[in-house]
Amino acid sequence: MKLDTSTDPQVGFRPAGSLDIVTALDRYEGPFSTRQAAHVLRRAGFGGTAADVEALRALGAEGAIDRLLHPSDPDIEFAAYPDPKLLGDPKTRNDAAENWWLDRMLRTRHPLFEKMTLFWHGHFATSLRKAPANLMVAQIDLLRGRALGNFGSLLLAVSKDPAMLVWLDNRYNNKSHPNENYAREVMELFALGLGNYTEDDVKNAARAFTGWTLDASLNFLYKPAAHDDGPKTFLGRTGNFTGEDIIATIVEQPIHQRFICRKLLEFFVYSDPEPELVEALAQKYALCGADIGQTVGTLLRSNVFFSARAYRAIPKSPVEFTIGLLRFMGVASVPPDTIGWLRRMGQEPMAPPSVKGWDGGPTWINTATLLTRFNYVNRIVKSAPPQAVPSTAASATMAPAMMTAAAAAQAAVFPTLTPSEIVRRAGGLDADRVLATIEGIAVQDDLTSDVRSQLRDYLQSTGATVPVPFGPENYEEKIRGALALTLNLPSNQLN
């Protein structure tokens, strides 16, 4: 049995250089500067403001990763559910569900849990194009609740999850007409990979899952009359297997350990990981009893995670890119048009293109998706509240409590990382210091000296709309322009 990686588009995008397998998963003891802290926050979360990165850096590597894995403070209070009125209307329910989740990604104080929820969503890719939006919301909650727990119990819970029963049709799987859809995908996509089971295994597993269906209110229902309780042969064993038996058998397969660990490595470390690295992590995974939290902890603390080869080595997914930008810019509320942008970038959350989820890696990058990323950056960075609202003298005198809820909601979609804030950080209206500040906080100085001098040229350039060099008359437009250009550099496309 071996992993079939033939359909993984990330194959071929392994970073240059060689792996020191002996120490790869050992605990990293090296420096933990702003760059390492930003690396951790991008991979184990969705990035953040310069202050967020600094707070993480102050904890040291060990403290930072402990904080992400075992947050001591409670998360902020989120609405348990999107607005029922919006969720009940066919016109608004999909956007309501997606925005509810994007908002959690943007504001959570426990970003690793939300990041793993996104990982599992890509893994168990279910879509509200087929499963009702309210069931999708419940599935995302299920994934979050078990995001860093035991894989076997996660897989069993997902197998009985109503959205999944709708998505892969197991609700219709009964002994007189077995439906093989779920039985096939649970092995191919969720746990084993192609080539590690036979067509007969699919047929027999499908028989074992018969009777797992939904009641009239779309809750899980086991219908004994529809279940085929006859003997089945599955992955070399014979018995009167139930669906639970099938899941347990699947998770015991050694190939499963490699399958899931390879996927974790591609998500957290780099594309196309070496088979020996997969094997080493698979051993850790087996040793801790398929505990995802411990396995992810091992990875995040490891030398290979902090190695130069892993640094900015994975293209950001559109959701990572978008939420990362909003967090960095200090936007408090997801702008409502973001879903449309995400769709054009190729990743509408809760709407994966197929059961396989998103291919990721190089497939995120094409002319259309890249232009969409650039233009989303341009749109967010250059958005500012209308001059009449909070920044005018009149509203500045207004007590915050006097701001109406509607005005507050409106203000929340604008960046708090304003040109004035950047000038304050730079310690004055000096082109070089402003540029150094932007480059430091936006891309941790990951740019070449050529690019740096081009950015400087831009800042100092004059044109029809901006007839004078960088200075008090034009610093707002110029700083926004330079920030957008910096965020559109290749390094910011990479996690």
Sort residue 379 into left (φ over 0), alpha (ψ -120 to 50) or beta: alpha
Query: Closer CB to other proteins, residue 23 or residue 354?
Result: 354
- Identified binder of other proteins from the candidate list 345, 350, 435, 479, rule CB under 8 A: 345
Q: Which helix (H) or strand (E) element contains residue 184?
A: helix 181-185
Least distance in angstroms from the C-beta of 297 to other proteins? 25
Minimal CA–CA distance to 191: which of 205, 177, 174? Answer: 205
Stretch that binds other proteins, among 96-104, 248-256, 385-393, 462-470 (CB under 8 A): 462-470
Residue 466 backbone class (left: φ over 0; alpha: ψ -120 to 50; beta: rest) = beta
Taking CA atoms, 461 is separated from 79, 235, 248, 422, 431, in Å, by: 48, 68, 65, 19, 11
Nearer to other proteins, 55 or 313 (CB): 313
- Per CB under 8 A, 365 contacts other proteins: yes
Calpha distance 302→307 (Å, rounded): 9
DSSP 367-422: HHHHHHHHHHHHHHHT----TTSTTSHHHHTS-GGGS-HHHHHHHTTS-SS-HHHH
- Count of residues touching other proteins (by CB under 8 A): 74
- Which of positions 40-69 make contact with other proteins (CB under 8 A)? none
Tell me which stretch binds other proteins (CB under 8 A): 46-54, 68-76, 142-150, 367-375. 367-375
Tokens of 46: 């969705």
Cβ proximity to other proteins: between 303 and 307 the closer is 307
3-state secondary structure of 487: helix
CB 456 within 8 A of CB 431: yes
Residue 397: how many other CB atoms lie within 10 Å: 8
Output 182 or 241, the one with its CB closest to other proteins.
182
User: What residues have CB less than 8 Å from 407, skipping those under 6 apart?
Assistant: 389, 390
- By CB atoms closer than 10 A (0-12, 13-18, 19+), residue 424 is exposed
Residue in 1, 92, 149, 172 binding other proteins, rule: CB under 8 A: 172
What angle (nearest 5°) sits at the alpha carbon of residue 334, between those of residues 401 and 129? 135
User: Which residue from 35, 343, 425, 433 is in contact with other proteins, where contact means CB under 8 A?
Assistant: 343
Window 296 to 325, contacts with other proteins (CB under 8 A): 308, 312-315
Choice between 194 and 409, CB closer to other proteins: 194
Among 58, 194, 398, 412, binds other proteins (CB under 8 A): 194
Counting contacts by CB under 8 A, is residue 6 touching other proteins?
yes
* Among 149, 293, 440, 490, interactor with other proteins by CB under 8 A: 490
The residue within the footprint of other proteins, chosen from 111, 273, 297, 346 (CB under 8 A), is: 346
Q: Which residues contact 410 (CB under 8 A, 6 or more apart)?
A: 385, 389
3-state DSSP assignment of residue 213: strand
Alpha carbons 142 and 415: distance in angstroms, whole number: 32
Stretch that binds other proteins, among 42-50, 299-307, 320-328, 454-462 (CB under 8 A): 454-462
Reference 486, options 453, 447, 450; nearest CA is: 447
Q: How far is Cα 227 from Cα 243, in angstroms, rounded to an integer?
A: 10
Tokens of 213: 């269906």
Q: Does 488 bind other proteins (CB under 8 A)?
A: yes
Contacting range for other proteins; rule: CB under 8 A; set: 139-147, 230-238, 328-336, 485-493: 485-493
**314 or 434: CB nearest other proteins:** 314
- The 100-139 site mask, x for binding other proteins (CB under 8 A), equals -----------------------------x----------
Window contacting other proteins (CB under 8 A); options: 84-92, 178-186, 298-306, 424-432: 178-186
Q: Give one DSSP letter per residue of 98-115, joined into a string.
A: HHHHHHHHHH-S-HHHHH
Choose between 81 and 172: whose C-beta lies nearer to other proteins: 172
Q: If you count them, how many residues does the chain have? A: 495
Q: Is 378 in the site for other proteins (CB under 8 A)?
A: yes
Q: Provide the minimum distance between the beta carbon of 463 and other proteins in the complex, in angstroms, as a whole number.
A: 5
Does the protein bind other proteins through residue 12 (CB under 8 A)? yes
Least separation in angstroms between CB 207 and other proteins: 13
Residues 218-277 that bind other proteins (CB under 8 A): 271
If binding is defined by CB under 8 A, does position 198 make contact with other proteins? Answer: no
| Residues between 414 and 453 that touch other proteins (CB under 8 A) | 448, 450-451
Q: Which is nearer to other proteins, 287 or 371 (CB)?
A: 371
Between 31 and 463, whose beta carbon lies closer to other proteins?
Answer: 463
Site for other proteins contains 35 (CB under 8 A):
no
* The binder of other proteins chosen from 104, 184, 256, 258 (CB under 8 A): 184
